[in-house]
Amino acid sequence: MRWQPDASVTAPHRIGKYLIEAELGRGGMAVVYRALDPEIGRQVALKVLSKAEFTSSGGGSRLLERFRREARAAGRLLHPNIVGIYEYGEDEVHAYIAMELVEGLSLRDHLLAGWRPDLRTLPEALEDLLGALDYSHARGVIHRDIKPGNILISQMGVAKITDFGIARIELSHLTKVGEILGTPFYMSPEQFNGQPTDERSDVYSAAVIVYEVLVGKRPFEGRIAHLLKQILENAPPAPSSINPELPAQIDAIMAKALAKRPEDRFQSAHELLDALHQVMPRKPERRALARVPAEQAPPLTPSGARLAGNVGALRRAIGLNAGLNAGTEARAGAGAGEAPAAAVPKRRLPAVLCVDDEERVLNALKFVLKDAYDVETAANGAQALERLKGRRFQVLVSDQRMPGMLGVDLLREARAIAPATVRILLTGYSDLAAMVGSVNDSEVFRFISKPWQQEDLLATIAEAVSVAIALEASPPPAAAAGGASDLAVVVLEDEAMARAERQIAGDSCQVLHAPSLDHALAALAKHEVAVLIADLESRNVEHTALFKALKAEHPQTLVIVTTAASDSEVIINLINEARIFRFINKPVNLTVLHRHVVAALQRYQAFRQSPALLGTQAARHAAAAPENEAARSMLARLKALGGRFAAALKG
Q: What is the pLDDT of residue 307?
A: 31
Alpha-carbon distance of 148 to 105, in angstroms, equals 10
Residue 617 CA: distances (Å) to CA of 229, 500, 553 = 55, 28, 11
| Strands (E) located in 379-451 | 395-399, 422-427, 446-449
- Does 130 lie in the same domain as 53? no
Band of the pLDDT at 170, cuts 50, 70, 90? very low
- Does 525 lie in the same domain as 634? yes
Q: What is the pLDDT of residue 113?
A: 82
Q: Is the pLDDT of residue 298 over 50?
A: no
- Encode pLDDT of 77-129 as tens digits: 878 888 888 888 888 888 899 988 888 888 998 888 888 888 888 898 999 99
- Encode pLDDT of 186-239 as tens digits: 988 988 887 888 899 999 999 999 999 999 999 998 877 788 888 888 889 999
- Does 422 lie in the same domain as 519? no
171 is a domain residue: no
- Does 111 lie in the same domain as 95? no
The domain of 141 spans 105-165+182-316
CATH of the domain at 242: 1.10.510.10
CATH of the domain at 45: 3.30.200.20
Alpha-carbon distance of 98 to 117, in angstroms, equals 33
- Does 509 lie in the same domain as 386? no
9 is a domain residue: no
605 is a domain residue: yes
Q: What is the pLDDT of residue 612?
A: 60
Residue 103 · residue 155 · CB < 8 Å: yes
321 is a domain residue: no
Residue 154 · residue 160 · CB < 8 Å: yes
Look at residues 80, 99, 118 and tell me which one is the last residue of a structural domain.
99
Number of domains making up the chain: 4
Nearest residue to 320 via CA among 286, 294, 295, 297: 286
Q: Is the pLDDT of residue 52 over 80?
A: no
Q: What is the pLDDT of residue 640?
A: 61
SS3 48: strand
345 is a domain residue: no
- Encode pLDDT of 497-526 as tens digits: 888 888 788 777 889 998 988 888 888 888
- Does 515 lie in the same domain as 467? no
Q: For the chain, what percent of residues have pLDDT higher than 70? A: 70
Q: What is the pLDDT of residue 591?
A: 80
- Encode pLDDT of 6-34 as tens digits: 444 456 788 989 999 988 887 656 788 99
Q: What residues does 428 pair with on adjacent strands?
A: none
Band of the pLDDT at 254, cuts 50, 70, 90? very high
- Does 633 lie in the same domain as 548? yes
Catalytic: which of 128, 134, 145, 535? Answer: 145
Look at residues 316, 333, 361 and tell me which one is the last residue of a structural domain.
316
* Pairing of β 529-535 and β 558-563: parallel
Mean per-residue pLDDT over the chain, rounded: 75
Residue, of 180 and 114, whose pLDDT is higher: 114
555 is a domain residue: yes
Residue, of 321 and 127, whose pLDDT is higher: 127
User: Which region among 64-68, 156-160, 531-535 has the lowest average model confidence (pLDDT)?
Assistant: 64-68
User: Which region among 261-270, 418-427, 466-475, 539-548 has the lowest average model confidence (pLDDT)?
Assistant: 466-475
CATH of the domain at 610: 3.40.50.2300
- Encode pLDDT of 341-385 as tens digits: 333 334 568 899 999 998 988 998 988 888 788 999 999 999 999
Band of the pLDDT at 585, cuts 50, 70, 90? confident
- Does 148 lie in the same domain as 92? no
Residue 6 · residue 31 · CB < 8 Å: no
392 is a domain residue: yes
371: annotated active-site residue: no
Residue 446 · residue 576 · CB < 8 Å: yes
Average of pLDDT values for 427-452? 66
User: Which region among 86-90, 290-294, 526-530, 600-604 has the lowest average model confidence (pLDDT)?
Assistant: 290-294
- Does 269 lie in the same domain as 161? yes
Look at residues 99, 120, 145 and tell me which one is the last residue of a structural domain.
99
List phi, psi (to 5°) of 294: -55, -40
Q: At what angle do helices 269-279 and 199-215 cross, to 10 degrees?
A: 30
Q: What is the pLDDT of residue 76?
A: 75
Nearest residue to 555 via CA among 524, 596, 518, 534: 524
Residue 388 · residue 414 · CB < 8 Å: yes
